[in-house]
């Protein structure tokens, strides 16, 4: 962060009693960088992706939890198109087709929403933005990925077995 700093005993009076070994500095942003956001700030969204496992009830209280599989954080630019998101998810999992289901920030795992279009993705991001409004750091989108069979492959395999 560009800026200059200064140390002054007159500025420390509001900070309480400080010893001689304490260092106090005040950042003064340069006029050209005062309003510029940090690179990437607000332009990306993080997905906490879980795949290859299962959602099961916990023995003690029956609450749902994710068991097994892999968990990865995927940081994506908000301008990413839905089909590009699907491609990145397929590449990450190694599956031909991916079903994306996400947990809303105010809901439990028993109310996952399917994300199948750019409108679904936009609505999901709006929910997370609203829930992150009063936080220092935005929430990560909790995403669960499941393998999806492509319709063309199932019909082709069923026609070859009927011959």
Q: By mean pLDDT, which of 3-12, 61-70, 77-86, 103-112 is the weakest?
A: 3-12
Say if 82 falls within a structural domain.
yes
84 shares its domain with 148 = yes
The single-letter DSSP state of residue 111 is G
- Kindly state whether residue 161 falls inside one of the protein's structural domains: no
Query: Tell me: the pLDDT tens digits for 54-80?
Result: 999 999 998 999 999 999 999 999 989
- With cut-offs at 50, 70 and 90, classify the pLDDT of residue 155: very low
How much is the pLDDT for 149? 76
Structure tokens that stand for 132 in this block: 């992150």
Task: For residue 143, give its domain range.
Answer: 44-152
The mean pLDDT value of the chain amounts to 76
pLDDT over 60 (residue 119)? yes
Tell me if 129 sits within 8 A of 89, measured CB to CB: no
53: in domain: yes
Same structural domain, 66 and 121 = yes
**Residue 80 and residue 125: Cα distance in Å, rounded?**
12
Q: Considering the entire predicted model, what is its pTM?
A: 0.65
> What pLDDT, on the 0 to 100 scale, is given for residue 30?
39
**Torsion sign (Cα): 49, 53, 55, 58:** negative
- Both structure tokens of 40: 């990437």
Q: Is the pLDDT of residue 3 over 80?
A: no
**pLDDT at residue 14 greater than cutoff 70:** no
**CATH assignment of the domain containing 61:** 3.10.20.90
How many separate domains does the chain show? 2
């Amino acid at each position: 962060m560009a800026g200059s700093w200064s140390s002054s005993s007159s500025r420390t009076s509001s900070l309480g009693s400080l010893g001689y070994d304490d260092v106090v500095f005040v950042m003064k942003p340069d006029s050209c960088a005062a309003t510029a956001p940090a690179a990437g700030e607000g332009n990306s969204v993080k997905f906490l992706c879980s795949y290859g496992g299962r959602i099961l009830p916990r023995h003690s209280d029956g609450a749902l939890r994710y068991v097994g599989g892999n968990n990865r954080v995927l940081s994506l630019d908000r301008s990413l198109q839905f089909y590009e998101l699907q491609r990145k998810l397929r590449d990450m999992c190694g599956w031909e087709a991916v079903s994306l289901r996400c947990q809303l920030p105010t809901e439990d795992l028993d109310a996952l929403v399917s994300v199948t279009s750019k409108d679904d993705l936009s609505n999901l991001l709006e929910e997370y933005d609203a829930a992150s409004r009063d936080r220092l750091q935005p929430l990560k989108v909790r995403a669960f990925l499941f393998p999806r069979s492509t319709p063309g492959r199932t019909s082709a395999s069923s026609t070859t077995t009927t011959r």
